[in-house]
């Protein structure tokens, strides 16, 4: 309890940093990585009939039907608005490796600060392939401006299944064979001005779960705009849409609310596996009600507030869900990209994710007018 008090104090302490806004892209950034499909159901033979008594030996005996391994189309959303990067194609090298169940917990994953297990209720490691026991180079100098096809071999996947095994505190084996196998795809991206690294996973299921459907990648069908909100956060003023090729206009010192439209169909119900909380701690199929759709907003000039929104409030929290974010133009037009007509243009991206590895994005423009 005292520790919680300390955390609260630290969490509530006024921040002293004057950091760059995460919604403003000023240098080499990876904003998203789309993999299509985002998850794969394999046909695996020889799985242990009794997962509680699985052993490495039994797992070494499994086989994978090559026909069940699809080609994965990988497309990164990468940009570097710095002048030094202009005209230089952005490329990346690609490496794959199995999940490291012992790796660091992913950012914001695992349940948060008050998870009684210490925020560790996931065995999805957020690690690079450098330290992995096995990794597979999949290409160099891959252009980042389009999709790239990735195909893993049965041997690689078998090795991954055998690598991604851990024993829980009661000695029960778990891992990719019963919980799903994340394969890390690591992109080392180079622009004309720098290098950065990103990872993206594809989840391979060893066998279909009852009622399981492969994830459908979420999309953003439309973006609604309006200039202001009421005190109750209702749209105020003339509403419009922000479409590709038709930029919105915002004066310096003004603002514009952007609200991605979320269709109910985007929020899929899905099946996954979880470990039972009570003995014998079996991995069992579990139906989760629906996905939570998350939006992230980016721009090359100005910033968004908030930078992220989500389609669902936290459990137990009541209120209205707000997906919109407010675009705030920069304080001046210095350094803002201009189009052929001389207008200052802010490029805008909205990325949508479904918490199952599915992600996509839309790109729009906003013209920042000099002022009223």
Closest contact distance (angstroms) between CB of 357 and other proteins is 4
Contact between 70 and other proteins per CB under 8 A:
no
- For other proteins, the closer of residues 85 and 181 by Cβ is 181
- For other proteins, the closer of residues 140 and 168 by Cβ is 168
Q: Pick the binder of other proteins from 224, 226, 272, 306 (CB under 8 A).
A: 272
Residues between 286 and 315 that touch other proteins (CB under 8 A): 286, 288-289, 292, 294, 296, 308, 314-315
Closest contact distance (angstroms) between CB of 370 and other proteins is 27
- Number of C-beta neighbours around residue 362 at 10 A: 18
Contact between 152 and other proteins per CB under 8 A:
no
Residues between 180 and 209 that touch other proteins (CB under 8 A): 180-182, 196-201, 203
Residue position matching structure tokens 């005209």: 87
Q: Cβ contacts of residue 37 below 8 Å, gap of 6+?
A: 70, 72, 202, 214, 215, 217
Residues between 12 and 31 that touch other proteins (CB under 8 A): 12-20, 22, 29-30
**Region from 47-55, 64-72, 132-140, 175-183 binding other proteins, contact rule CB under 8 A:** 175-183
**35 vs 31: CA distance, rounded Å:** 14
- For other proteins, the closer of residues 195 and 239 by Cβ is 195
The interface mask with other proteins, positions 90-129, x = CB under 8 A, is -----------xxxxxxxxxxxxxxxxxxxxxxxxxxxx-
Q: How far is CA 241 from CA 232, 262, 288, 328, in A?
A: 22, 14, 33, 17
Closest contact distance (angstroms) between CB of 113 and other proteins is 4
- For other proteins, the closer of residues 73 and 292 by Cβ is 292
- Number of C-beta neighbours around residue 90 at 10 A: 21
Residue 296 contacts residue 350 (beta carbons within 8 Å): yes
- For other proteins, the closer of residues 55 and 113 by Cβ is 113
Closest contact distance (angstroms) between CB of 316 and other proteins is 3
Residues between 31 and 50 that touch other proteins (CB under 8 A): 32-33, 38-39
Per rule CB under 8 A, count of chain residues that contact other proteins: 94
> Residue 280: is the preceding peptide bond cis (ω within 30°)?
yes
What's the chain's length in residues? Answer: 372
Long-range contacts of 67-71 (CB under 8 A, 24+ apart): 67/43, 68/40, 68/41, 68/42, 68/43, 69/40, 69/42, 69/151, 69/152, 69/153, 69/154, 69/157, 70/37, 70/40, 70/151, 71/149, 71/150, 71/151
> What stretch of H or E contains 12?
helix 2-12
Q: Pick the binder of other proteins from 50, 169, 230, 331 (CB under 8 A).
A: 169
**318 vs 322: CA distance, rounded Å:** 12
The CA angle 346-347-350, to the nearest 5 degrees, is 125
Closest contact distance (angstroms) between CB of 223 and other proteins is 19
Residues between 210 and 269 that touch other proteins (CB under 8 A): none
């Amino acid at each position: 309890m005292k520790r919680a008090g300390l955390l609260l104090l630290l969490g509530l302490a006024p921040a002293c940093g004057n950091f760059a806004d995460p919604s403003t892209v000023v240098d080499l950034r990876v904003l998203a990585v789309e993999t299509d499909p985002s998850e794969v159901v394999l046909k695996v033979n020889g799985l242990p009939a009794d997962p509680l008594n699985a052993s490495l030996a039994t797992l070494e005996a499994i086989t994978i039907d090559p026909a069940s391994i699809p080609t994965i189309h990988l497309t990164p959303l990468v940009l570097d608005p710095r002048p030094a990067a202009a005209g230089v194609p952005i490329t990346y090298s690609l490496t794959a490796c199995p999940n490291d169940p012992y790796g660091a917990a992913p950012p914001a994953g695992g349940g948060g600060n008050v998870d009684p297990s210490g925020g560790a209720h996931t065995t999805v490691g957020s690690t690079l392939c450098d330290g992995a026991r096995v990794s597979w180079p999949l290409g160099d100098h891959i252009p980042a401006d389009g999709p790239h096809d990735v195909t893993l071999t049965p041997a690689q996947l078998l090795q991954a299944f055998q690598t991604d095994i851990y024993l829980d505190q009661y000695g029960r084996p778990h891992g990719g064979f019963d919980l799903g196998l994340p394969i890390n795809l690591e992109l080392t991206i180079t622009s004309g001005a720098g290098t950065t690294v990103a990872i993206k996973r594809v989840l391979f299921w060893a066998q279909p779960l009852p009622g399981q459907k492969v994830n459908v990648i979420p999309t953003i069908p439309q973006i609604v705009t309006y200039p202001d909100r009421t005190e109750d956060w209702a749209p105020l003023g003339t509403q419009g849409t922000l479409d590709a090729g038709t930029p919105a206009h915002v004066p310096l010192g003004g603002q514009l609310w952007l609200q991605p439209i979320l269709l109910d169909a985007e929020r899929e119900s899905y099946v996954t596996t979880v470990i039972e909380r009570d003995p014998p701690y079996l991995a069992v199929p579990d139906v989760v009600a629906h996905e939570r759709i998350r939006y992230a907003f980016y721009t090359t000039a100005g910033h968004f507030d908030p930078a992220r929104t989500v389609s669902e409030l936290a459990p137990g929290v009541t209120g209205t869900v707000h997906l919109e974010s407010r675009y705030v133009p920069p304080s001046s037009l210095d350094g803002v990209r201009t189009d052929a007509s001389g207008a200052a243009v802010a490029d805008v991206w909205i990325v949508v994710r479904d918490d199952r590895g599915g992600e996509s994005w839309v790109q729009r423009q906003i013209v920042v007018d000099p002022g009223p």
